[in-house]
Amino acid sequence: MNHSTSPNTDRLPPAVGCDAGLIFAVPIEAAAFERLATDRIEVRAATVTFQQGIVAGHRVVWCVSGIGAEAAAAATRLLIDGHRPRLVITAGFAGGLDPALTRGSVVRPVVSVVEPTMPPLSLAPFGVAAWPASPQVTIVTVPSVIATVEAKRQLAARSGAQVVDMETHAVASVARAAGLDCASVRVVSDDASQELPREVAALAAPQPPLRRLGSVVGAIGKRPRAAVDLWRLWEHAVIDGRTLAEALADLLRSLPGRPSTS
């Protein structure tokens, strides 16, 4: 790994073990959490850039893996090999499948499933005391965005899950293989009654950033209303990112053991 340092690098050397390692899929999920961190430095691996810092008194490492199971699994392997966290956390947004879950609510997945035949994985139930009002749910990981109300209904019936994402099971599988616990923190970004703009599926497909930008421009050219719809999703994502950061800080405060110091 190549190390790129910030002005505070003399206070926090590259980690040789940390309290938690976090995997986010996209930058907007990580942005508010990053602002909570002190004593930050950056560590660049071959395909992923890792950030290190202190959050809620604990030494943590996090990265933005990219969308999808393959990218999330690869980033998790690098995180574990390079930083040896005590706990892996998959963090981000999720689609709601249960009508009882409202948009913007925090959920704590405790079981991870994936279609069609892989066995379920248990997730670490950390943070129970910290978030007494947050429901414990089953999360299903899928290869593409579930955009319509009917698709959500069918997925809920097949999987028995209450929320859906594209990374959790991959991260949890890598953590399990390494003998580590994996926790999950998710904010419901779209509830079971919400139809997502049809452009979202194309934008969420694994692809380089420049190609994704081209997809945005092309979508707006084909359907000008898409600009309004995508902007509204962005505004919600900013708010959801703040909610996610607060929930992650609560989880870190609830971790057993002595917090790290800078």
Q: What CATH number has the domain bearing residue 198?
A: 3.40.50.1580
Average pLDDT of the segment spanning 189-216: 64
- Asked whether residue 262 is domain-assigned, the answer is no
Q: Residue 90 domain-assigned?
A: yes
What sign does the CA torsion over 254, 255, 260, 262 have? negative
- When mean pLDDT is compared across 115-124, 160-169, 192-201, 210-219, the lowest value belongs to 210-219
Is the pLDDT at 145 greater than 90? The verdict is no
Model's pTM, two decimal places? 0.82
* More confident position, 241 or 216: 241
Q: Per-residue pLDDT tens for 33-76?
A: 999 999 999 988 878 999 999 999 999 999 999 999 999 999 99
Asked if the structure places residue 26 within a domain, the reply is yes
- Partners of 22 in the β-ladder: 62, 89
Confidence of residue 196 (pLDDT cuts 50, 70, 90): confident
Spatial distance between the Cα atoms of 253 and 202, rounded to a whole number of angstroms: 37
> Which domain, by its residues, includes 244?
2-254
Looking at residue 217, what is its pLDDT?
A: 45
- What pLDDT score was predicted for residue 230? 61
Please tell me which residue, 92 or 257, carries the higher pLDDT value. Answer: 92
The predicted structure's pLDDT at residue 227:
58
Per-residue pLDDT tens digits for 91-140: 999 999 999 999 999 999 999 999 876 789 999 876 545 555 567 899 99
Query: Does 246 map to a domain?
Result: yes
Domain assignment present for residue 134? The answer is yes
Number of domains in the chain: 1
Separation CA 15–CA 33 (nearest Å): 19
In a domain, 260, yes or no: no
Residue 127 is given by DSSP the state: T
Count the residues in the chain: 262
Please choose, from the candidates 109, 233, 235, 126, the residue with its C-alpha nearest in 3D space to the C-alpha of residue 165: 109
CB atoms within 10 A of CB 53: 24
In a domain, 259, yes or no: no
d(CA 187, CA 114): 19
Is residue 113 a part of any domain in this protein? yes
Contact in structure between 146 and 201 (CB atoms under 8 Å): no
Q: How far apart are CA 65 and CA 85, in angstroms?
A: 16
The answer, yes or no, to whether residue 215 has pLDDT greater than 80, is no
